[in-house]
Structure 1
Amino acid sequence: MLKFLAHRLIHALISLLVITVIVFSLSHLSGNPIDAMLPDDATPQQIEDLTRHLGLDRPILVQYLTFLQNAAVGDFGDSLKWKGQTAAQVVLERMPATLQLGGLALLISVVVAIPLGVLAAVYKNTIFDATATVIALLGQSLPAFWLGIVLMWIFAVTLGWLPTSGHGGLSHMILPAISMAWFQISALTRLTRSAMLEVLDAEYIKLARVKGVREQQVIWKHAFRNAAIVPITYFGVLAGSLLTGSVVIETVFNWPGTGWLAITAIQGRDFPVVQTVVLFFAVLFLLANFVVDVLYALIDPRIRNA
C-alpha cells in the first residue's frame, strides 16, 4: 500500500515540476513584464534598474531556479495590478469562493449522476434509460457558458427566482454550480451506466439472485461496488475540472473566484498572479488525482498489492 502511494506521489511531484517549467516558459514567451510595470516614457536607466532588480538580466536557467526556489516557499512575487499585495495573497483571498462553487458543483454531479446511471442500467430501455440518454446528449452538446446565460435569463431575469450574478449565499451559487456540473453529470452518468451494465451480466450477480439476495442489495452492494472503479477513474478529472475549469462560469456570473481573477490578471498583464493561479490549479488537479489513487487502493486490493 505504502509503496503504491509513494510511486503515485513521485509521479505527481514530477508532473508538478514539468508544469513549473511550462509556466515559467510561457511567462517569458508572453512578453517582457517590464513593459507592463513601467510607463511608456520610462528612461533607459529606469528600465535597466528594474531589469536588474527583478533578475531578468540573469541567465534563463538561473531565473528558473530562482523562480522554483521562491515558489517552493509560496513566494510568487508582488501583484502588478493589486498594489500592496503579493500574488499569493491575491489568489488565496479568492480561492475559498472557487472551492465553494466547485464543491457544490461536484456534489450536484455525484448526487445526480450516480443514481441516474445506476437506474439507467438496471432499467435498461425504459424511461430511466431514455432520460439518462437525453441528459448525456444535452450535457455534452451545450457549452457551459451558453447554458449559464440561458439559466440566468429563465430563472433570474424572467422568473426572478434567483440573483443574476455576484457573490453571496446559496441562491447566488445555484445557477453557476448547475452550469458547471451539467457536462460532468452527463459524462459520469454514461460511465456509471456502462460499468453497471457490464457488471450486471457477471456470473456472481446471477448467482446472488439465484440465492435469493434482495434486489436492492444485489444492485448497490454487489454490482455497484464492483462497478464503482470506473466512475472513480473519472472522479479525479471531474474534481479537478470543476475546481480549475471555473474560469468561464465565474466570468459569466461575476463570481469573485480564482477563475475570474485569472481573466482579470491576464487582461491587466499581471504575470505573477497568472503564474500563481496556474500553479494553484495544477496542485488542486494533482491532489484530486492522488486522492483517486488512494481510493483505487482502498476499493481494489489487486491495485495496492501490484
Structure 2
Amino acid sequence: MLTFLFKRTLYALISLLVITLIVFSLSHLSGNPLDALLPDDATPQQIEQVTRHLGLDRPIWVQYLTFLQNAAMGDFGDSLKWKGQTAAEVVWERLPATLQLGGLALLISIVVALPLGVMAAVYKNTALDAVATVIALLGQSLPAFWLGLVLMWIFAVMLGWFPTSGYGGLSHMILPAVAMAWFQVAALTRLTRSAMLEVLDAEYIKLARVKGVRERRVVWKHAFRNAAIVPVTYFGVLAGSLLTGSVVIETVFNWPGTGWLAITAIQGRDFPVVQTVVLFFAVLFLLANLIVDILYALIDPRIRNT
C-alpha cells in the first residue's frame, strides 16, 4: 500500500512540475509583461530598471527556476490589476466562494446521481429507468451557461424564488450549483447504472438471492459495493471539473470566486493572478485524482499491488 501511495504521489508531483513549465512558457509567449507594467511613454531607463527588478534579463532557464522556487513558497508576485495585493492574496480571497459553490454542486451530483443510477439499474426498463435516461440525455446535451440562464429566468425572474445573481447564502448558491452539477449528474448516473447492470447479472448476486438474502442487502451491500469502483474512478474528474468548470457559471451568476477572477484577470492582462489561478486549479485537480487513487486501492485490493 505504501509503495502504491508513493508511486501515485510521485506521478502527481511530476504532473504538477510539467504544468508549471507550461504555465511559465505560456506567460512568456503571451507577450512582454513590461507592456502591462509600464506606460506607453516609459523611458529606456525605466524599462531597464523594471527588467532588472523582475529578472527578465536573465537566461530563460534561470527565470523558470526562480519562478518554481517562488511558486513553492506561494509567492507569485504582485497583482497588476488589484494594486497593493499579491496574486496569492487575491486568489485566497476568492477561494471560499469557489469551494462553497463547487462543494454544493459536488454534493448535489453524488446525492442525486448514485441513488438514481442504482434504482435505474434495479428497475430496468421501467418508468424510473426512463426518467433517469431523460435526465442523462438532457444533462449531457444542455450547455451549462445556457442552463444557468434558463434557471435564472424561470426561478429567479418569473417565480422570484431565488436571487438572480451575486454572492450570499444558500439561496444565492442553489441555481449556479444546479447548473454546474447537472452535467455531472447525467454522467455519474449513466456510469452507475451501467456498472450496476453488469454486477447484477453476476453469479454471486444470483446466489445471494437464491439463499434468501434481502433484496436491499443484495443491492446496496453486495452489488453496489462492487459496482462502486466505476463511479469512484470518475470522482476525480467530477471534483476537478466542478471546480475548474466554475469559470463559466461564476461569470453568468456574477459569483465572486476564482473562476470569475480568472476571467477578470485575463481581460486585465494580470499575468501573476492568471498563473496563480491556473496552478491552483491544477493542484486541486491532481489532489482530487490522488484521493481517487487511494479510494480505488481501498475498494479493490488488487490495485495496491500495481
What is the TM-score when the length of structure 2 is the normalising length? 0.99
Write the distance in 1 (CA, Å) between the matches of 2:193 and 2:163. 35
Residue 74 in structure 1 maps to residue 74 in structure 2: yes
The aligned counterpart of 2:98 is: 98
Q: Say whether residues 1:125 and 2:109 are aligned partners.
A: no
Q: What's the C-alpha RMSD, in Å, of the aligned pairs?
A: 0.6
Aligned partner letter, 1:18: V
1:250 matched to which residue of 2? Answer: 250
Partner amino acid for 1:216? R
Match of 1:302 in 2: 302
- Secondary structure of the structure 2 residue equivalent to 1:141: coil
Give me the whole-angstrom Cα distance separating, in 2, the residues matched to 1:56 and 1:203. Answer: 66
* Cα displacement (A) at 1:305: 3.1
Paired residue secondary structure (2:140) = helix
Alignment partner, residue 115 of structure 2: 115
SS in 2 for 1:168: coil
Give the length in aligned residue pairs.
306
Distance 2:155 2:85 in 1: 38
Q: How big is the shift at 1:285?
A: 0.3
Distance in 1 between the 2:51 and 2:150 partners?
A: 48
* CA displacement at 1:47 relative to structure 2: 1.1
- Tell me the equivalent position of 1:227: 227
- Alignment match, 1:141: 141
The residue that corresponds to 2:12 in the other structure is 12
1:48 CA drift (Å): 1.4
Query: Any idea what SS the aligned residue of 2:295 has?
Result: helix
Q: Which runs of 4+ in 1 moved over 2 A?
A: none
Q: Deviations over 1:166-195 (max 9, x none)?
A: 000000000000000000000000000000
Structure 1 partner of 2:259: 259
Aligned AA (2:67): F
Q: CA deviation at 1:272?
A: 0.2
TM-score (norm 1): 0.99
Note the C-alpha offset of 1:243.
Answer: 1.2
The 2-side partners of 1:5 and 1:150 are apart by: 44
- 1:85 partner letter: Q
Identity of aligned residues (%): 88
In 1: Cα distance, 2:125 partner to 2:148 partner:
31
Say yes or no: does 1:172 pair with 2:157: no
- How far apart in 2 are the matches of 1:160 and 1:34? 48
Give, in whole Å, the separation in 2 of the partners of 1:277 and 1:62: 23
TM-aligned CA deviation for residue 198 of structure 1:
0.2
- Aligned partner of 2:118: which letter? V
Query: Distance between the aligned counterparts of 1:111 and 1:77, measured in 2?
Result: 40
Aligned to 1:214: 214
Which AA in structure 1 matches 2:10?
I
Structure 2: give runs of 5+ residues left out of the alignment. Answer: none
Q: Output the amino acid matched with 1:147.
A: L
